[in-house]
A = this chain, B = another copy of it.
Amino acid sequence: MPISARRLAPEERRRQLVDVALELFAENVHADVGLEDVADRADVQRSLLYRYFPGGKPDLYLAVVKEAWRRLVHRVDTDPSRPLDRKLPENVATFLDLGEARDPALRVAGQARRVDDPRVRAVVRDSRRAWAQRMAVNHLSTPDPGATVMAALTGYLALAEVLMEEWLVHRTVGREQVEAVLEGALPSLVKLARSI
């Protein structure tokens, strides 16, 4: 067993394995990433992975998707001391920057939408809702804006994902267009959903 496998405390080790796997899943198609690749990259024995992720690849992948979304959700600035008309463009810009930089967490989150595992689907929905709550905090000063606003905000994220893809993958639109649609659509959608 390589030395590195002995040195870390369990929580640290688990985090290291998830971080390494996140990079691998971001760079490759889901089906192409095996536990061997993760073990190699982390410089540990494959058996160690099963200690932390007894179900193997699906368990590890679930932890990776959770971690990717956790990182993204925490990028949403909800500082109450800053005005919304500054925070909204900056939050939009933050995510477009991540997209432009091919951020691993964003890539994993994007791919996870297409993994047909009910547990992954649940994580994606929960994460979108956590993100929606942060938008609700910014726009309505509450993390609990009611079911219609929550559904609309979750839908807005799906719209944002499509726009990012049109920009970064299909190149049909530029960053400025995506930015303007995302900044303009959110306040009116919140207002609409709130009025229902």
Contact = CB atoms under 8 A, between A and B. Distances in A.
- Each complex incorporates copies of this chain amounting to 2
Output the residue of A115, A125, A152 with the most chain B CB within 10 A.
Answer: A152
A174 to B, nearest CB: 9
A181 B116 contact: no
Contact of A151 (B147, B158, B166): B166
A162 B166 contact: no
Given A114-B115, A115-B116, A116-B30, A152 B181 contact: yes
Interface string A106-125: 00000101111000010001
A172 B192 CA distance: 17
A98 interface: no
A184 B162 CA distance: 20
Interface string A149-164: 0111011111111110
B158 A155 contact: yes
A173 interface: yes
Contacts of A29: 116
B159 A177 contact: no
Interface string A125-160: 100100000000000000000011011101111111
Given A113-B113, A116-B30, A178 B151 contact: yes
Contacts of A154: 162, 166
Contacts of A196: 176-177, 180-181, 184
A148 B162 contact: no
Given A181-B193, A196-B177, A196-B180, A155 B151 contact: no
A8 interface: no
Contact of A162 (B30, B115, B121, B151): B151
A4 interface: no
